[in-house]
Structure 1
């Protein structure tokens, strides 16, 4: 089957502070040569530390930013070659839930006024009365009850968890096929995170909505993605991707191994058996001046001569794709 979403050699370069965009040395590669596919009804987690480019990918997929290179295909068609009508359908069917729920809502408008306009614009409701009725049903679905209590409130009158539910309701209101969720639970109380993750999982199962789940938290990625896919980002590059279960059960790239080794384990017996992966450096290199060869080599304890000269490409190892020259020499991980 044709994938719902396909990224081909995606690049996103920004100008550096001196503003000289023409020279390669004066560009910052936030996303460099990233390719992956997502099927209808599938969930994919994009994980990595801050500054790795995962949020940039999310904004490009949602159509908020235009990439400097590569293509994005939605339902088999390049979005840059879509007609105006096709582009309107794309913008309705691909929604984004932002990390900062307060910044994503107009502070001067009530919740109802913020949510009714997209519904009327995209033909989901004929008028304000119909929009109110449909939003009431959605608010019940996302756990905002009684719905009328939240309709006329302003964003500052709601908690972080309530605002995130409002954003999920707004995304659902236009009947999307793909939702890009950018760190949706990172600014929510720990006690509410599971309920929001369960809500997104419910949306995936009941409505067949695909998700790109962007996070730095491997625990929440494992919880929500379950049988889906994972992509591990480092300094703008995709370094490992595949089925979440196989990738996390047998991490092959040293960077992913380091991430997993840093996760605390509440079981003392397992914690003592767990092997820590030391790094040469805790500092991430400057993305404006990435290292030659493998971008992870200044921090990798397994780095060899080739790692400093030649950048590794994603290659199939088992059922997964890994970009590492030393993958075969990396010992089996214990965690």
Structure 2
């Protein structure tokens, strides 16, 4: 494995089984949440995984963080396959891999003070440290997220903080052990617009200061373009396009990516030309298609799109797309 790569995911798959029908006519139905997803993240970079609700991006993050077991596939962290580790071995890696969740209201224990919340990971992984050193680490962590003086916050409870402050405490809890890798799942979607930029800038500052490698899960392409070095676009459990952020924004090669970019660039243009960019519909993870997963919503579909799954094709400079007709999309949209 390349020493510059911290995380490598190979053919990751997750299939759920849900019950449908009435009580007297109960049926089981497969939900293909993640289907043969592969990507890699280099040390020190931020990879954004974007897509609409139900595309599988959060499920992917939860499997990478070992909060959910995969159906099949490999997750290599520092060359070690996390899928083969025991629960005990996985717990020992928690100090290297941390997650920032979407909702700060749910992730902080309302019955614990900020001191106790931030002390918890230290007690779990570095309990040998003297108490004074643990307190120093907590103060340092609080000040690193720009809540100063730290003493004003240590004895507060989560309900005594604003939403933005709560998310900053969640970030402090994630970085207090100085991990190598952070997975951030929609870290600003539950916050007021006025405080989102501050949280994003804080993450960028911590990434630079600590040399963090990050995976950012988001449905917002504008957030991904601001934060990420590379972007992977997911649709119906598959990565359909991946590449450097500038390439994805300036030269999207998949029709779904084109639609996402058009919304960010000009919402009025997207509304007026919606049928040329994307057809109505939603992600249906219960349907395993023989062809392209986007075919029912694609205005550029051809016969081959219904019968053959597109393979990921390299376009050079780290840019790749899974689309049968990407080469003539430009001609059709002009």
With normalisation by structure 2, the TM-score equals 0.90
1:306 aligns with 2:304: yes
Shift of 1:32: 0.4
Unmatched 5+ residue regions in structure 2?
A: 22-27
Q: What is the CA RMSD across the aligned residues, in angstroms?
A: 2.5
d(CA) in 1 for partners of 2:239, 2:265: 25
d(CA) in 2 for partners of 1:158, 1:83: 37
Q: State the Cα deviation string for residues 9-45 of structure 1 (Å, max 9, x = none).
A: 00011111159xxxxx821111100000111111100
Deviates more, 1:208-217 or 1:316-325: 316-325
185, 193, 207: which one aligns with 1:182:
185
The aligned residue for residue 73 of structure 1 is 76
Checking the alignment, whether the CA contact within 8 Å between 1:119 and 1:125 is kept in structure 2 is no
Checking the alignment, whether the CA contact within 8 Å between 2:13 and 2:71 is kept in structure 1 is yes
The aligned residue for residue 286 of structure 2 is 288
Checking the alignment, whether the CA contact within 8 Å between 1:233 and 1:240 is kept in structure 2 is yes
The aligned residue for residue 97 of structure 2 is 94
1:47 aligns with 2:45: no
d(CA) in 1 for partners of 2:188, 2:44: 21
- SS of aligned partner of 2:106: coil
Shift of 1:189: 1.4
- 5 Å-filtered alignment, 1:100-111, equals 100-111=103-114
1:322 aligns with 2:321: yes
Number of equivalenced pairs: 325
Unmatched 5+ residue regions in structure 1?
A: 20-24
Shift of 1:265: 4.0
Q: State the Cα deviation string for residues 292-328 of structure 1 (Å, max 9, x = none).
A: 4111111101000110111112111233110000111
Gap change, CA 1:161 and 1:125, over 3 Å in 2: farther
Q: State the Cα deviation string for residues 205-245 of structure 1 (Å, max 9, x = none).
A: 111100101111111111111xx111000011100001111
d(CA) in 2 for partners of 1:82, 1:102: 31
13, 23, 36: which one aligns with 1:11:
13
Q: State the Cα deviation string for residues 83-128 of structure 1 (Å, max 9, x = none).
A: 7775344221110000011111111211211220211221177244
- SS of aligned partner of 1:91: coil
Shift of 1:154: 1.5
Q: State the Cα deviation string for residues 24-69 of structure 1 (Å, max 9, x = none).
A: x821111100000111111100000111111111111111011111
1:59 aligns with 2:62: yes
d(CA) in 1 for partners of 2:285, 2:119: 41
Gap change, CA 1:280 and 1:218, over 3 Å in 2: closer
Gap change, CA 1:92 and 1:293, over 3 Å in 2: same
Checking the alignment, whether the CA contact within 8 Å between 2:262 and 2:270 is kept in structure 1 is no
d(CA) in 2 for partners of 1:131, 1:67: 35
Checking the alignment, whether the CA contact within 8 Å between 2:17 and 2:29 is kept in structure 1 is yes
